[in-house]
Chains A and B, each alone.
Chain A
Amino acid sequence: MSKTEEVFSFGDAAARNAALEEEIHGDTMVLNVGPSHPATHGVLRLRLELDGETIVKCDPVIGYLHRGEEKVAENFTYNQFIPYTDRLDYIGPIHNNVTYALAVERLAGIDVPERCQAIRVICCELARLLSHFIGLGCYGMDAGALTVFMYMFTDREKIYSLMEELCGARFTTNYTRIGGLQRDIPDGWLDHVLKVCDDVEKTNELCDKLLTRNRIFYDRCVGVAPLSKEDAISYGVSGPNARASGIAMDLRKDKPYLGYENYEFNVPVGTNGDSYDRWLVRVEEVRQSVRIIRQAVTKMPGGLWYNDKATKIFRPRKDKVLSSMEELIQNFMITTEGPELPVGEAFFEAENPKGRQAFFVVSKGGGVPWRLRIHGPSFSIISALPKILPGCLVQDVPVVLGSIDFVMGDCDR
């Protein structure tokens, strides 16, 4: 049976499917790890071709969660779009708020005071803890250790309570604004953060002890679906997956933002790029995130949480709006026409827990963007699946998907 490698255009799904159908002549079986499946985190469809239990070909089908967020952005003002950024990488939602705000602030040419930066750093690292806990918990669950998942979710609940205290909502945080934050941190929040950090460290060590040297888990993960360094670079993989493959790239160190150059932390890098390395990298990153949060809490500067010079961009304080005419007019203009941003374009990339998330904003003046392009890290790693899955067994699929830790909200937008 000759397998000719024809190249089809990206949108020509019918031709791709037809070619795949032709090849199935009884040697291989097509198995659909369908959009609703306990192992795929979100709605990802994997069309696997199997020879016995070994995967011969893998074709991921995405788009089941496409909501047209980039198009929606063209009709909303910059501040109105922030609830939509919550729903992109919905595992650590506050990080998307921060990245978007930084991108638009770069376009506007304003910066934020140090207190705002420190608060944003704590929020980003809390989002990283949220995301890695789901990654590790679901990875353990997919390998069969169902209890690790529950222990990690208990700690996620604690971080959600922190978010609830900070901005009023556990999950759809909607916390940053262009030029600052929604509100200042409440009293006593920093002590709660430190307490949660202690709990998080304990749970991380517990799950490390339960699984990392357990031979059953070790055999499940070692050597499974290795992603080589060259492949990682060519597919555009970033974040923990790339670091596990040996690429020492972390945007917090390479292109520091939010004052990350003032914090001391290490960047874990793996050697093999297999699933075990991806586990180890995430476990170590949790430890480093806790380190960063502790430093930020101790060094929390005083001052304002917003840029008070950016009067056409950041809404004035409520008591001024209630008493003074000029602030009332500013409030009115910012609400109806949006923040007044200059003509131009800006690109900003940040180290999302899943990888490198980037926003590209094009503005033709006014308060509504002309074009907003979002790059999600999960898109790149899912595009690498046809390279790394063939050769694995069917039973490796949940382990690989768990180790990659993608989220479909980021991939499909």
Chain B
Amino acid sequence: MATKILERKPLTLAERTYLPQIAAGLWVTFRKMFGRRVTLEYPEQKPPIPRGYRGVPTLVKDPNGREKCVSCQLCEFVCPPKAIRITPGEIPADSATAHVEKAPKDFELNMLRCIYCGLCEEACPERAIVLQNVYSLNAATREEVVLHKDKLYELGGTLPDKIMKWDKKKAAADKAAGGHH
């Protein structure tokens, strides 16, 4: 065990007069007075947000403009403070994205409960709910801070999608059906 017994030397005569250490300390603080300031003066200077920052959870649309959430409710399940409430709904059969079958009727995210843990983003099988860069969310009433579907899609915007799984599924289903109609 590489233990290192700490030595405690008693104070030397010079140190016992208080003065050398006081002078050294004053010199350090005096020099620091003319140094650089480390404060970031918000809101004139904003902090740099790194990639992968966990800000406000948002819902995203795919590059075709379709809303990605299919209301599977996995995020509602995994959310520790139970901030998410989803009312699942159906996509009507005559819509262009009818093969997806489900979309949320209402998606309520109570920001007063959200702890920004990111477990919803991990659980989502569609990559629909993503924690992005918004860190400053303020409101004047409690109702404003409970975000609904429209506000979440507005905050989320569109993110690139390399996989486009529903388009692939639709193409595979069409091919299997042999273009029957």
Which A residues lie at the B interface, using CB under 8 A? 76-77, 79-84, 147, 154, 157, 164-165, 167-169, 172, 174, 182-183, 186, 206, 209-210, 213-216, 218, 248, 250, 253-254, 264-272, 276-277, 280-281, 284, 315, 318-319, 321-323, 328, 331-332, 335-336
Query: 6 nearest interchain CB pairs?
Result: A168-B54, A266-B4, A165-B50, A83-B117, A214-B21, A335-B123
B122 within 8 A of partner (CB): yes
Of all chain B residues, the one with the shortest Cβ separation from A324 is B165
B45 within 8 A of partner (CB): no
Count class of interface residues, chain B = 35 or more
Known A-B contacts A182-B122, A248-B3; the reply to A172 vs B15 at CB < 8 A is no
Known A-B contacts A186-B50, A267-B1, A335-B78; the reply to A209 vs B127 at CB < 8 A is no
Q: Which residues of A contact B6 (CB under 8 A)?
A: 268-271, 277, 280-281, 284
Query: Are A284 and B118 in touch, CB under 8 angstroms?
Result: no
Of all chain B residues, the one with the shortest Cβ separation from A276 is B8
A174–B163 Cα distance when bound, in Å, is: 27
A277–B51 Cα distance when bound, in Å, is: 42
The answer, among B1, B24, B74, B122, for a CB contact under 8 Å with A336, is: B74
Chosen A-B contacts, 27 in total, with CB atoms closer than 8 Å, are A76-B80, A77-B78, A164-B53, A165-B52, A167-B52, A168-B50, A168-B52, A168-B131, A172-B115, A213-B11, A214-B25, A215-B15, A218-B11, A218-B15, A250-B1, A253-B1, A264-B2, A267-B2, A268-B3, A269-B6, A271-B8, A276-B8, A315-B123, A318-B122, A335-B123, A336-B74, A336-B77
Query: Are A182 and B50 in touch, CB under 8 angstroms?
Result: no
B126 within 8 A of partner (CB): yes
Known A-B contacts A83-B117, A168-B54; the reply to A269 vs B3 at CB < 8 A is yes
A219 to chain B, nearest CB (A): 9
B119 within 8 A of partner (CB): yes
B114 to chain A, nearest CB (A): 11
A323–B116 Cα distance when bound, in Å, is: 27
The answer, among B15, B38, B52, B80, for a CB contact under 8 Å with A186, is: B52
Query: Are A328 and B78 in touch, CB under 8 angstroms?
Result: no
- Extra contacts besides A168-B50, A168-B118, A321-B125 (11): CB < 8 Å: A169-B54, A186-B52, A215-B18, A253-B2, A267-B2, A269-B4, A318-B122, A332-B125, A335-B78, A336-B74, A336-B77
Query: Are A322 and B11 in touch, CB under 8 angstroms?
Result: no
A178–B87 Cα distance when bound, in Å, is: 31
A-B pairs under 8 A by CB, number = 130
Query: Are B116 and A169 in touch, CB under 8 angstroms?
Result: yes
B17 to chain A, nearest CB (A): 8
The answer, among B1, B8, B80, for a CB contact under 8 Å with A248, is: B1
The answer, among A168, A172, A210, A267, for a CB contact under 8 Å with B3, is: A267
Query: Are B52 and A210 in touch, CB under 8 angstroms?
Result: no
The answer, among B25, B29, B52, for a CB contact under 8 Å with A183, is: B52
B86 to chain A, nearest CB (A): 14
A339 to chain B, nearest CB (A): 12
Known A-B contacts A168-B54, A215-B18; the reply to A277 vs B8 at CB < 8 A is yes
B46 within 8 A of partner (CB): no
Query: Are B74 and A332 in touch, CB under 8 angstroms?
Result: yes
Query: Are A215 and B119 in touch, CB under 8 angstroms?
Result: no
Query: Are A266 and B115 in touch, CB under 8 angstroms?
Result: no
A317–B173 Cα distance when bound, in Å, is: 25
A319 to chain B, nearest CB (A): 6
Query: Are A80 and B78 in touch, CB under 8 angstroms?
Result: yes
B140 within 8 A of partner (CB): no
Q: Which residues of A contact B21 (CB under 8 A)?
A: 213-215
Q: Which residues of B contact A182 (CB under 8 A)?
A: 118, 122
Q: Which residues of A contact B117 (CB under 8 A)?
A: 82-83, 172, 174
A290–B67 Cα distance when bound, in Å, is: 48
Query: Are B125 and A328 in touch, CB under 8 angstroms?
Result: yes
B181 within 8 A of partner (CB): no
Of all chain B residues, the one with the shortest Cβ separation from A284 is B6
Of all chain B residues, the one with the shortest Cβ separation from A337 is B77
Q: Which residues of A contact B119 (CB under 8 A)?
A: 79-80, 83, 174
Interface residues of B in 34-79 (CB under 8 A from A): 38, 50-54, 74, 77-78
A155–B38 Cα distance when bound, in Å, is: 10
B68 to chain A, nearest CB (A): 11
A275 to chain B, nearest CB (A): 12
Query: Are A147 and B29 in touch, CB under 8 angstroms?
Result: yes
Q: Which residues of B contact A272 (CB under 8 A)?
A: 8
Query: Are A206 and B15 in touch, CB under 8 angstroms?
Result: no
A79–B21 Cα distance when bound, in Å, is: 51
Of all chain A residues, the one with the shortest Cβ separation from B164 is A322
Known A-B contacts A147-B29, A214-B21, A323-B163; the reply to A315 vs B53 at CB < 8 A is no
Of all chain B residues, the one with the shortest Cβ separation from A248 is B3
B12 to chain A, nearest CB (A): 8
The answer, among B5, B15, B126, for a CB contact under 8 Å with A322, is: B126
